[in-house]
Structure 1
Amino acid sequence: MTVDGTEYGTYPGQPTTATRSPYDTDLFTGETAQRIVEDLHRDNCGLTVALEYDGTLTFTWDATYRGEPGAERVTPDAQGRYAIGGLWPWDTWLETGGSTTQP
């Protein structure tokens, strides 16, 4: 996966549903979640994320990002995977390079 409209990623993840839409949630390993955190810290979009001491990711956004401020906490599951989705559109990264929306 990659964040639609950016060069961030690729983020290998496991879909949580059989059908795909850009705002779906995928499961990511802790290592991949850390890469997502690092990429968000390089971007100035109004969305930030903090890795808490217990492994929880806390996504926080301001009014410039979604119209009103908010936050979402994501805790790892029993296998240490993070369910991340719904905060930005995902795009599928092709094995040949590039996303499905890139020419």
Structure 2
Amino acid sequence: MQVTTSKLENKTLFAIDGRIDATTAPQLENTMLGKTQEASEAVLVDFSNVEYISSAGLRTMLKLAKLCNSKKLALRLFGLKPNVLEVFKVSGFSGIIKINADLNEALSSL
């Protein structure tokens, strides 16, 4: 699993590539929570190259959502493949974290 961080105007963009599971979630959590401390407006997470997410990955997304909420930052996930989106829906996380189809939709929803 790889995570790339970039800036898009005043927004922090994370692009994740690979599986998010018990092995990779700690690295993802450290990177995302650390970089989110520096974020100023919104956090966008690109899931278009994520094939799988486990409960450990969901826990990381929940921690990210809580951090964003405490810093009054908007959080948007986008580009989820159908199987990954289903995990968010079944777990109830789609009711906690806003999910958009693509980057343009995520930006428009801010």
Give the TM-score category using the shorter length: 0.3 to 0.5
**Greater helix percent: which structure?**
2
User: TM-score normalised to the size of structure 1?
Assistant: 0.33
Rg larger in structure:
1
User: TM-score normalised to the size of structure 2?
Assistant: 0.31
Higher relative contact order (CA 8 A, sep 6+): 1
